[in-house]
A and B are shown apart, each in its own frame.
Chain A
Amino acid sequence: MKKTLVLLMIAAMTFASLAGCGKEVSKSDKSSDKVSVSKEAQDSHVNIALFTYIEGMDPATDWCGWNLTRCGVGETLVTVNENMEIEPLLADSYEQVDDTTYSFHIRKGVKFSNGTELTPEIVKASIERSIENNSRGQDLKIDSIKVDGENVIFTTKEPFSAFVYNMTEPMTVIVDTTADTSNYDTKPICTGPYYVKEYVSEEKIELEANENYWDKVAEIKSITALNIDSDTKTDAILAGDIDLAQGPAATTLSNVEGNDDVDIVKVTGTRENDFWLNCKEDSPLGDVNLRLALSYAIDRDVVAKVAGNGYSSPLTTAFPETVGYDSDKVKGQNYDVDKAKECLENAGYKDSDSDGYVDKNGENLELKISLSSSSNSAVSETLQDMWEKIGVKTEIEMLEDTSTIRKNGDFDILADSGWQTVNAGDGQKYLANRWKTDSTDNYGKYTSEKFEAVLEKLDKAFDKDERIAAFVEAQQVLADESPCIWLYANDNITLVNSKKIGNVTVFPIDYYLVTNEWTLEN
């Protein structure tokens, strides 16, 4: 009897630890690793979790600039505020000289965190460095940069209406090019209210307040940004491991609702969620009819419910409505099973052997849904279920790492984490990056002359109404051709422990987070 009790206890503990096992998988940095700071500053410290934890801190590399803007370390010439308007930052004024020329006046009295003074020459060198080293550098379409007194003059290769917006993109964060740049991967020298004290790969970023800051010096003297999975952000903030979490998984928010200490600050998001389709000619999904069939078969209200648990809304276009590009004028695929079946037939698929699955030339249609093993498979399973109902067989494949199949375009259907649609405050980049022929982020290898034409139109449209009309047209082309299946848009959510941090501004664009305005409560 005794032995049975002991066994039961052991089994209970095993079960309990299994349940907590998932937590251990995510690399949450619990307890002990506190930064050693001065006594006064010891109290003035908070822990936070960023929207996503990107590896690397050099703006000249990939998307690492986003780490810098999120951490309040890096600053661009101009920025986008919480009302989605362009604001001067390191440039205190700018003007468009002509179709392809812009002049930015560099603010005086700005110092880098190492004390070096910001000059127009450094601005030029820094941006040239980004263009040369960053794979997306050519997106800026800059032909040449010149220094003229206190101004920096940019010339674009062709008329580019989104140029000023593009200069808010974090890859243009200004770094001190006169210092040793060899370790900028971990400790770049920038102008922001915080600087990087220590960077531990995959674990944390230690930030310290920059006493040389050109504007009001930050009240919170040190911040640790920890690498925490979206799934476990709510657990972490409830446990007190972090005091602020940007972008927790919507499905875990029920744990926090009604909690007195933790505020759920919701801002209508500008991110969308979709699944990539392989548009290459040799792929079955190269046929637009099949793509449309898959899109019609989805009940997006259900998907939004499954995915977001009340914090998501269905989406049939490339841009969510909140971005303001008149998405309601765009006709996408609403839930229509009959239409889906019709499109299937147009693509040549029929269930000729009555086994419940459509086939062509004697072979059943079988598609693979690929996703990362660390993400929630609920949406994939929902899609699988809905496609099963129109007779399309799919298999779910969870991979440790999806970057290889992404790069090579080796997939049928690929789940992706949501895309920021107004990258740099404007939607042009998002459209060009993802669906322009041969663009680096065009994983599905979609190509369309029609779409290219609209993009060109957009680039030349400097007038606001013209631009919005161009965006509508672009969305319609994409909706008609469905290179991706748009599903839902998440609210942009930040959890704040209001007992510890105050005066937090939540930006619609989630690559802004830390500001010098944060206050320490009690």
Chain B
Amino acid sequence: MDKIKRNRDYIALFMAVFAAIVFILIATFSYKFAPNNPLATDYDNLLKAPCSQYFFGTDQLGRDIFSRILYGGRTSLLIAFLVTAIISVTGIVIGAVSGFCGGVVDGILMRISDMLMAFPGSIFTIALVSFMGTGLVNLIIAMSLTGWTYYARLSRSMVLSIKNNNYIEQARLGGANPIKVLNCYILPVIIPPLLVYISQDIGSKLLTIAGLSLLGLGSQPPTPEWGYMLSEGKEYMNSAPWMLLFPGIIILINVIVFNLLGDALQNVLNPKKSAI
């Protein structure tokens, strides 16, 4: 019975990874898939409903929404990945060092982390972006500044729980210097469970980016970006609902896929903890 469940878990993981890769490929090679230039305007076809020429209809400048969604993926997914990569790597390392060293180092690092965590995440990000100015680079910086604390906390607590295991002692007796202990003994143990959080975080960061762009704080026009497309579309909600519908669905699907990916990873790594 367990074996069958195990196989199901692997299949689920495979499917989730496959879906994620498909999305990433489509986004990266959007220029091959997009039928139209996402920036090309068509003033005779403003706010046109979906048709054969424009699969998802056009926006207020007559641009092809389908092509804009494909190109938008590049921006959205790329940033989500980048930010997640930055915060997970820095957060995990800082947390591991903090937990492993203890003492003053731990104290300082955790106080810094506490200070940053004291601000409610999204609001702090919004405030930072408003202060630094709009644009994708500032968006990445703002999201990275606040996002690493989550991983630092997680990684630190995991390190604390294994710190006193005998194999860490053995590592020291075996002559490993602290750096080696971190790299070869601690990180390989704590990273696999953290992968679950990481993949779910991608979905969450996608939403944050969309939300910030919705507020006009993320990518600048005319760059297609899903969140910004939503904010453009809300004005035309009655006359051109496809402007809201398709970017919204795409965001939805992407977030779901990455959440499912995290879920599947969780099941495979920790079979006992998986839901029925």
A contact set with B: CB distance below 8 Å: 2-4, 7-8, 11-12, 14-15, 18-19, 21-23, 25, 231, 249, 251-252, 254-255, 299, 302, 305-306, 309, 373-374, 376-378, 380-382, 384-385, 395-400
Contact = CB atoms under 8 A, between A and B. Distances in A.
Nearest to A3: B275
Given A255-B239, A396-B222, 17 more contacts: A4-B260, A11-B255, A18-B251, A19-B234, A25-B215, A251-B60, A251-B235, A251-B239, A255-B237, A306-B43, A377-B232, A385-B41, A385-B222, A397-B134, A397-B220, A398-B220, A399-B133
Contacts of B259: 7, 11
Interface in B217-274: 217, 220-222, 227, 230-232, 234-239, 244, 248-249, 251-252, 255-256, 259-260, 263
A14 B210 CA distance: 11
A259 B6 CA distance: 58
B134 A15 contact: no
Contacts of A8: 256
A373 B235 contact: no
A255 B256 contact: no
Contact of A398 (B210, B216, B256): B216
Q: Is the interface of B mostly helix, strand, loop or mixed?
A: helix
Given A19-B234, A22-B234, A306-B46, A11 B256 contact: yes
B78 to A, nearest CB: 20
Given A11-B252, A251-B235, A398 B263 contact: no
9 contacts: A14-B252, A19-B237, A23-B234, A254-B238, A374-B216, A376-B232, A377-B221, A381-B222, A382-B41
B220 A15 contact: no
A366 to B, nearest CB: 15
Contacts of A23: 234
A384 B259 CA distance: 38
B61 interface: yes
Given A8-B256, A12-B252, A399-B134, A376 B235 contact: yes
Nearest to B256: A11
A7 B220 contact: no
Q: Is the interface of A mostly helix, strand, loop or mixed?
A: helix
B142 interface: no
B30 interface: no
A251 B134 CA distance: 25
Nearest to A19: B244
B130 A400 contact: yes
Nearest to A377: B221
B211 A21 contact: yes
Interface in B24-50: 39, 41, 43, 46
A14 B256 CA distance: 11
A299 B130 CA distance: 34
Interface string B133-162: 110000000000000000000000000000
Contacts of B61: 306, 378, 381-382, 385
A231 B233 CA distance: 11
Interface in B188-233: 207, 210-211, 214-217, 220-222, 227, 230-232
Contact of A373 (B39, B216, B260, B275): B216
A396 B236 contact: no
A317 to B, nearest CB: 23
B222 A7 contact: no
Contacts of B130: 400
Contacts of B210: 18
Nearest to A231: B235
A396 B252 contact: no
B255 A18 contact: no
A458 to B, nearest CB: 38
Highest count of chain A CB atoms <10 Å: which of B39, B61, B251: B61
B13 to A, nearest CB: 14
B221 A381 contact: yes
Contacts of B216: 373-374, 398
Given A11-B255, A21-B214, A398-B134, A302 B222 contact: no
- List 4 tightest A-B contacts by C-beta distance, closest first: A373-B216, A254-B239, A255-B238, A22-B234
Nearest to B248: A15
B236 A251 contact: yes
Contacts of A18: 207, 210-211, 214, 227, 230, 248, 251
A12 B129 CA distance: 27
Given A7-B256, A18-B248, A373 B217 contact: yes
Nearest to A397: B220
A66 to B, nearest CB: 25
A399 B221 CA distance: 12
B249 A15 contact: yes
Contacts of B244: 19
Contact of B43 (A15, A249, A254, A305): A305
Contacts of A378: 60-61, 232
A276 to B, nearest CB: 19
A400 B217 CA distance: 8
A316 B39 CA distance: 27
A421 to B, nearest CB: 26
A2 B244 CA distance: 28
A4 B221 CA distance: 35
Contacts of B220: 395-398
A397 B214 CA distance: 15
B214 A15 contact: no
A306 B256 contact: no
Contacts of B207: 14, 18
A377 B235 CA distance: 12
B238 A3 contact: no
Nearest to A307: B60
A380 B232 CA distance: 13
A3 B263 CA distance: 10
Contacts of B255: 11, 14
A373 B134 contact: yes
A400 B235 CA distance: 19
B60 to A, nearest CB: 5
A11 B248 CA distance: 10
A80 B217 CA distance: 42
A396 B61 CA distance: 15
Nearest to A255: B238
A309 B47 CA distance: 10
Contacts of A251: 60, 235-236, 239
A396 B130 CA distance: 17
